[in-house]
Amino acid sequence: MTQLYEILEYFKLKKSGYINQKIEKPSSILPGKKNSLSFIDKEDNEIEKKIETTRSLIILISKKIRIKNSKKILIKLENPKIEFCKILELFFAEKKKNIIQSSCFIDREAILSKNIHIGSFSYVGKAKIGKNVIIGSNVTIHDNVEIGDNSEIGSGSVIGSEGFGFLRKHDLEIIKFPHVGGVKIGKNVRVGSNNSIDRGTLENTIICDDVKIDNNVHIAHNCIIDKRTLITAGVIFSGSVKVGKNVWIGTGTVIKDHVYIGDNALIGVGSVVINNVEKNDIVFGVPAKKKKL
């Protein structure tokens, strides 16, 4: 719980008669909660009705939306949804305590920085963990893994295990390709729950800064995911995939090995990507094809 004046000060607005009013946990616009904070970012025919009937006290609203006099506190912004997220993080989000649970196993050669949280029954091998990292419960982090500052690894994830590296000889005997690379995860990366990121065969598998990965994602050996890419749930990367900056990959997508995806590309939900995707392209389908604009 916070107070109204703190939110007003955040937006550099003048204090009002509600200065000592406490603000409850933020809520959706309808039905809203008494003395809570909500937002509206899209205009429709029901906006005025929503504002007058919601129980919320403060509403972040787009500057493009015109509203007559209202008893609510309306804060007009360029992007109310983004500002709403910032307010949630600053004033209302649960803060993890910097605790390493006694049930964890941490290798003596692991390098741990300050302010780290490690959940119950997690394993950390000969890895290097940056500052302010959060590691959930039942996480396995193998040797030769590096995790940058302010990153988060969700519960049940496995980082740095050997990938599927097998070869057939002429007589069809199967031999193993040993993995001697590692995994390097940058700063401000979010890896969701129950993910698997395999170590590289010779070089590192790399997840660059500010990448966000949803739950149940598999990233095979030698993949490189560049900055600010968003990967939604259930995506499968085969080996040696390279992904550019600012890419969006839809739920349930499967990407063939050695495929390259250019900067700013968008991959639609459930796609099977078997060919390279050029910069700024939008592709979807089985197999994925470029959408004609």
- Tell me the catalytic residues: 221
Take residue 266 and report the two structure tokens written for it.
Answer: 């968008």
Beta 236-237 vs 218-219: how paired, if at all? parallel
Contacts (Cβ under 8 Å, ≥6 apart) of 173:
none
DSSP assignment, residue 100? B
Quick one: CA torsion of 36, 40, 44, 45, rounded to 10 degrees? 30
Beta 166-168 vs 174-176: how paired, if at all? antiparallel
Closest among 197, 231, 230, 202 to 127, alpha carbons compared: 197
- Give the 3-state secondary structure of residue 72: coil
Take residue 58 and report the two structure tokens written for it.
Answer: 């403060």
- Which H or E run includes 85? helix 80-87
Type of residue at 88: L
* CB distance 252 to 234 below 8 Å: yes
Distance CA 117, CA 123 (A): 13
